[in-house]
Structures are given as structure tokens and as C-alpha cells.
Amino acid sequence: MHIHKYERLWLTIGCALLISFLIILAIQTLVFKSAPPSHLEMINPQEVYTTAPFDKPGVVKVGEKEYEATMIAFAFSFTPDEIVIPRGSKINFTITSPDVQHGFQVPNTTINAMIVPGQITKFSYVFDKPGEYIIICNEYCGAGHQLMMSRIIVE
């Protein structure tokens, strides 16, 4: 079969790109252990309120300007409904939902996460600027969705 010169060139470039992408993917997966941020930690949504750490939701100081926030996003609020921290603090969030899918967005920050029942969402954020931050649910979750919010006060 005759393949035109340019067609062969493009096929070669295409295959080389494909192989290099697969190699990059393999290195990320096997060497750097990268994985999508889901299904890593699971929880039975029916047992959220009796399973640690969600049996004691709240904020605990764990270091110099570092806090662990264990939160539950439920229809139609967040527990705890207010977090007060000093400026420059880092919060390590651990969040789950006992009912339906919720959003966890804090405007004017890079925080925007999905809270999926059965899964535990974890991320960290450093609050450098003082002020009042609002946590809003940005996934439609039912009749009270637009009322679902909480506050982070950075002093």
C-alpha cells in the first residue's frame, strides 16, 4: 500500500505525540502517584453522623496557624455554620454529605469543591486576607438550596 509522504509524516508525528502522552501519563500515575480527587476515601452516607471524624464536626487547632475543619454539608446547611480563625491561617478541610450532592464554594478564593455522598472531600487553603468569607452551595440540591451557606471569619 502506498502512503503519501506527508501523510506518513503526520502519522509519525501523531503516533510520537500519542506515545509521549502515554509515557507522561504513566509517569504521573506510577512515579508521582497522581489520581483524580475522587473515590480515594469512601464513607457510608447513612453512617456519617456516627463515623469519625464526622461524629464530632468542628474546627480543631493543630499547629501554629493551622486548623483541621471537619464539616458536613447537608440539605440545607453546613456544620459547623461558622468558623473563626486568625489571619494567615491554613485550614485543612475534610467534608462529606449524608444526603445528596452539594457544592462548597468560597467566593474570592480558589475553593470550589463538590461534596458527594459516599465520598470524603479534602483540600487545604490559607486565608491571608482578613474579612468575612461566605461558603455557598453551588450544586442544586433541593428546595432550600439557595439558603445553604456558612461563614468563615478571618480576623
| 54 has catalytic annotation | no
| Residue 70 CB, nearest approach to ligand CUA (Å) | 18
| 76 has catalytic annotation | yes
> 137 or 152, CB closer to ligand CUA?
137
The residues of the shown chain that bind ligand CUA, judged by CB under 6 A, are 102, 137, 139-141, 145, 148
Picking from 139, 121, 5, 11, the residue whose alpha carbon sits closest to that of residue 75 is 139
Phi, psi of 2 (to 5 degrees): -90, 125
| Residue 148 CB, nearest approach to ligand CUA (Å) | 4
Picking from 85, 94, 95, 34, the residue whose alpha carbon sits closest to that of residue 63 is 85
Query: From the candidates 21, 32, 54, 76, which is the catalytic residue?
Result: 76
What the block records as the C-alpha cell of 13 is 508525528
What the block records as the C-alpha cell of 53 is 471524624
Catalytic positions are 74, 76
